[in-house]
Amino acid sequence: MRLFTIVTIILTLFIISGCSNTTNEIVVYTSVDQVFSEPVLKEFENKTGIKVKAVYDTEETKSTGVLNRLIAEKENPQCDLFWSGDPIRTIVLKNRGITQPYQSPEATDINPAFKDPQHNWTGFSARARVLIYNKNLLKPNEIPKSIFNLTDEKYKGKVAIANPLFGTTTFHIAALFTTLGNEKTKQFLTALKVNKVVIATSNGDVKKQVMQGRVACGLTDTDDAFEAAKENKNTGFLFLDQNGIGSLIMPNTVCLIKGSPNTNNGKKLMDFLLSKDTEAMLARSCAQMPLHKGVKVPAGVASLDSIIPMKVNYDKTAIKLEEIQNYLKAWAEQ
């Protein structure tokens, strides 16, 4: 009987633990790696006293957790704000009617190219697609300068890209489709396949393969490349196509969830994320490039003013992405 009472008390406490509900909190889902997003959210908590309850996921495993969770929770949203590492996922949510518009005063000086015209999402702190290379395997004059060089015979079997069905690699390929057109991009992708491009499981895997010397170079994001260069002196990176189509810039994006329980706190966090201070933090922690002018960045972090960006419309690219997914699946599985 005593055991029964103890078990009952434990189970009651257990259920009650889930019932605490205060209004001075905000629920955030993020696909930005926890090592980088958690300090920013803690800073917001310290500054405002609003308790942040976060659900983390990672791009490395395609953010299956948070995005599918947001879609499944559509009818009764639990999340107030979604912070994505790229525009793709927020646009997926926007197209499914899961986001709500908000025009943050902090974003007024951010280039309109990085904002949704209907204010369903706003971009900040950007990453770019870069070429990461192993200095032991490529002499300075051998480093490709354009993405199109990767189809040259001399790089046969020496180039890696992440699975194009997921994450920023999908977006990169979709951006090539919108910039170059279907025919030219398909020719390029076929040539890459002929040149025995290595399909890695993720951008992190591309980084690892280059660092270990399994391949000579690969396409990845600036944060991975920056980490690799810090970890291993034999690894370098560069922005491709600076005399041509430019490098793809991918801002972090943030959006409010429609019908969320703490929309006001969501707006406060959105303002905080879009501030110059957050951009400075992300520049220090993972070499992200600020979209605001005049943000202090550490040495080695590129400025958006110093690189030629690929001219893309994120919404059109997201639509193109849905169109080409079956093609990409077939290409990856060839």
Partner 1 sequence: MGRTIIKQPLYTIVYLLFVLLVVFPVAYTFLLAFFNIDSLGKNLQLISIETVLLLLKSVLIAATVALFSTFSGTLLGFLLYKTKMKHSSFFKLALLIPLFISPYILAVAWKDFFFIMAGNSNIISSELGVALVLTTIYTPLAMLITGNAFSGIDSKLEESGFMIAGFHRTMSKITLPLIKPAVISSFVLIFIFSISEFSVPAILGVKVFTTEIFTQFSAFYNHSLAILQSALLLIICLLLLFAEGKYIADASFLSVGNRGNNTKTYQLNKRRLPGFLFVIIWLFISVILPFIILFFQTFNNETTNFIRAFKLLLPTFGNSITLATTGALVIVFIGFVAAYKNYLSQTQTKTGKSFDLFMLFLFATPSTIIGISLIRFYNHPALEFIYSGWTIIIIGFVAKFSFIAARLLGNAMKKIPASMDEAAQLEGISKFKRFLRIIVPLVLPSLFATFIISFIFSLGELGITIMVYPPGTEIMPIKVYTIMANAPQSLVSSMTLIVFSVTLLMIIGFYFIAKSIIKKQSYVVG
Under rule CB under 8 A, residue 241 binds partner 1 = no
Question: Rounded to 10 degrees, what is the CA torsion of 30, 34, 37, 39?
Answer: 140
Q: How far is the CB of 92 from partner 1 (least distance, A)?
A: 7
Q: How far is the CB of 140 from partner 1 (least distance, A)?
A: 25
Under rule CB under 8 A, residue 59 binds partner 1 = yes
The dihedral built from the CA positions of residue 284, 285, 289 and 295, taken in this order, carries a sign that is negative
Q: How far is the CB of 31 from partner 1 (least distance, A)?
A: 10
Under rule CB under 8 A, residue 61 binds partner 1 = yes
Indicate which single residue of 27, 107, 176, 289 sits in contact with partner 1 (rule: CB under 8 A).
Answer: 27
Q: Which stretch binds partner 1 (CB under 8 A): 20-28, 113-121, 274-282, 305-313?
A: 20-28
Indicate which single residue of 73, 152, 271, 277 sits in contact with partner 1 (rule: CB under 8 A).
Answer: 73
| Largest interatomic CA distance in the chain | 80
Under rule CB under 8 A, residue 251 binds partner 1 = no
Q: Is 68 left (phi over 0), alpha (psi -120 to 50) or beta?
A: alpha
Q: How far is the CB of 289 from partner 1 (least distance, A)?
A: 17
Q: Which stretch binds partner 1 (CB under 8 A): 56-64, 145-153, 244-252, 304-312?
A: 56-64
Under rule CB under 8 A, residue 68 binds partner 1 = yes
Judged by CB, which is closer to partner 1: 214, or 267? 214
Indicate which single residue of 76, 141, 306, 334 sits in contact with partner 1 (rule: CB under 8 A).
Answer: 76
Indicate which single residue of 54, 147, 162, 312 sits in contact with partner 1 (rule: CB under 8 A).
Answer: 54
Residues 116-175 binding partner 1 (CB under 8 A) are: 165-166, 170
Distance CA 235, CA 226 (A): 9
Q: Which residues contact 239 (CB under 8 A, 6 or more apart)?
A: 128, 130, 131, 247, 302, 307, 308
Under rule CB under 8 A, residue 98 binds partner 1 = no
Under rule CB under 8 A, residue 258 binds partner 1 = no
Q: How far is the CB of 209 from partner 1 (least distance, A)?
A: 9
| Residues binding partner 1: number (CB under 8 A) | 60
Q: Classify residue 152 as exposed, middle or buried by CB count within 10 Å of its CB (0-12, 13-18, 19+).
A: middle
Under rule CB under 8 A, residue 1 binds partner 1 = no
Q: How far is the CB of 17 from partner 1 (least distance, A)?
A: 5
Under rule CB under 8 A, residue 286 binds partner 1 = yes
Residues that bind partner 1 (CB under 8 A): 10, 14-19, 21, 27-29, 33-36, 51-65, 67-69, 71-73, 75-76, 78-79, 92, 165-166, 170, 199-202, 204, 208, 212, 214, 223-224, 227, 231, 286, 325, 329, 333
